[in-house]
Amino acid sequence: MTRIALDNMVALVTGAGGMIGGAVARRMTAGGAKVALADRRAPEATNESSRSYAADLSDPEQVRELVDTVLKDFGRIDCLVTAAGVTSLGSFESISVEEWDRVHAINLRGAFLINQAVIAAMKAQQFGRIVNIGSVLAKNGGNPRPWLDATEQGRAGNAAYGAAKAGVHALTLYLAKELAVHGITVNAVAPGPIASPMTTSFPEALIRQIPAGRLGQPKEVAAMVAWLCARENAFVTGEIIDVNGGLWMD
């Protein structure tokens, strides 16, 4: 593993109990960062300089309290990585209003809340790295060929999820402009299908359409996140970076 220096940085990673967030937390720890791991249930700490927190990140008060506690415990937040999220499958017609709201509550409102909550501290430091986890599904409309096999749409249709992630991409671009003068970069990583509980029912036929011929690994997403968080990467901002084995190119 190429070592990206993150020494003495404090990173807050949401969804750190999950596959991608967990890999990000380990990668950041390996790079020398102190990591605050947040999830619905406090995840396992990555080493003695990391700490774990339980919070529902769709709840404004819990998000505020989380950020205040992390600032009290570590004194600063240099990097925010937002990997908390839920998936949602099914055809567009089958999406209920409740399901639409459930997905948006964490995937988009949750990202908005935590991005907003760290800004004051990062501005005071005149330094910050925000990396939001977006998705290829915000770009490509999901399942590329529902007309060939309608059953794939039930297993790969993802409109509520894709719409929420498109919102994450948009807020990333917006915030990148607003915060650039404060030494804060804001980028998103848009993974393709990554081996995790979210993709257990991912159709084999769709995996074959990935030029790399396989699902991605959480550590491959984490490597890009760590790169974006490095101190020297100060001039990359407002990018939505694909990590998808060639599935989508733009």
Ligand X SMILES: NC(=O)c1ccc[n+]([C@@H]2O[C@H](COP(=O)([O-])OP(=O)(O)OC[C@H]3O[C@@H](n4cnc5c(N)ncnc54)[C@H](O)[C@@H]3O)[C@@H](O)[C@H]2O)c1
Residues with a catalytic annotation lie at: 161
Question: Which one, 58 or 185, has the nearer CB to ligand X?
Answer: 58
**Cα 188 vs. chain centroid, distance in angstroms?**
7
Pick one of 4, 191, 229, 241: the residue that binds ligand X (CB under 6 A).
191
Task: Check residue 70 for interaction with ligand X (CB under 6 A).
Answer: no
Task: Check residue 187 for interaction with ligand X (CB under 6 A).
Answer: no
Helix/strand/coil for 59 = coil
Nearest to 84 by CA among 165, 2, 200: 165
Nearest to 10 by CA among 170, 128, 133: 128
Binding segment for ligand X among 18-26, 29-37, 69-77, 90-98 (CB under 6 A)? 18-26
Secondary-structure percent of the chain, ordered helix, strand, coil, rounded to 5: 45, 15, 40
Task: Check residue 128 for interaction with ligand X (CB under 6 A).
Answer: no
Question: Which one, 127 or 164, has the nearer CB to ligand X?
Answer: 164
Task: Check residue 198 for interaction with ligand X (CB under 6 A).
Answer: yes
User: CA 112, CA 26: separation in Å to the nearest integer?
Assistant: 24
Q: How far is the CB of 210 from ligand X (least distance, A)?
A: 11
Q: Which residues make up the interface to ligand X (CB under 6 A)?
A: 15, 17-21, 39-40, 56-58, 83-86, 106, 110, 133, 135, 191, 193-194, 196-199
